[in-house]
Structures are given as structure tokens and as C-alpha cells.
Amino acid sequence: GSEKVVDHYNVMGPVKAALESAVRYLAHELGPAGIRVNAISAGPVATRAASGLTHFEELLNEAATKSPLRRTIDAREAGKAALFLASELSSGVTGEIVHVDAGFHVDGMIFH
């Protein structure tokens, strides 16, 4: 939503773009103090909260069909990425937006 237009995403696209920009600026500002700043951009995850979103089933189906891995992710996969970013394994990583979306961000989506 921050890199490509997504139908029905509405104002969340610009909001996500602002968040990603904030990550880069915070990484720049806080890096000299040894503080790393990263974010995870997760693909659609089937949760109770998400099920109330308009066209969410469509979004899940589109993601599963069009992502390079031909599936969606589950919340554990986003959690594993967070664990990596919080660990010393990523000690040289800052200012990054890590996509955990089965590769869906590569192609994006368009509803018809």
C-alpha cells in the first residue's frame, strides 16, 4: 500500500508510506546512539480483527494467488521476523522495512 496503489486500502497507503519514512529518519537520527530502527511490513494475515475489513477475503485470495510463494503468511512468520530484528543476528540492520508477505509486495495487487 505504500509503494503501489491497492484498491480498497484508502488512506492506509499514505499512512503506511509515512510510517516507512519515519523508520528511515529514526534510524538516521538514532543510529549514532547505537539504536537500530526497523519495521515489518506483513502481508494480509487471517485474524479475527481483519475478517471485519471490507473485501478482506478478496485480499487474502489475491495474495495467495499472486504471491511468489503462492500462499499467505500466518502471524507466526511475522513474529519470527520480529525476533530476528530484535536479536543480535540483525546487529548490522537498521532503517529497513522487512516484507513478510510471501513475496506479494513484488507484484502488488489490483481488484477488478
Residue 112: pLDDT band by 50, 70, 90 thresholds? very low
Q: Within 10 A of 97 (CB to CB), how many other CB atoms are there?
A: 17
Cβ neighbors of 31 (< 8 A, separation 6 or more) are 94, 95
Distance (Å, rounded) from C-alpha 27 to C-alpha 17? 16
Residue 111, pLDDT > 60, answer no
Beta bridge partners of 39: 97
Q: 12-106, superfamily in CATH?
A: NAD(P)-binding Rossmann-like Domain (3.40.50.720)
Active site residues: 9, 16
Integer Cα distance of 39 and 90 in angstroms: 13
Q: Model pTM?
A: 0.82
pLDDT given for residue 102 in this prediction: 95
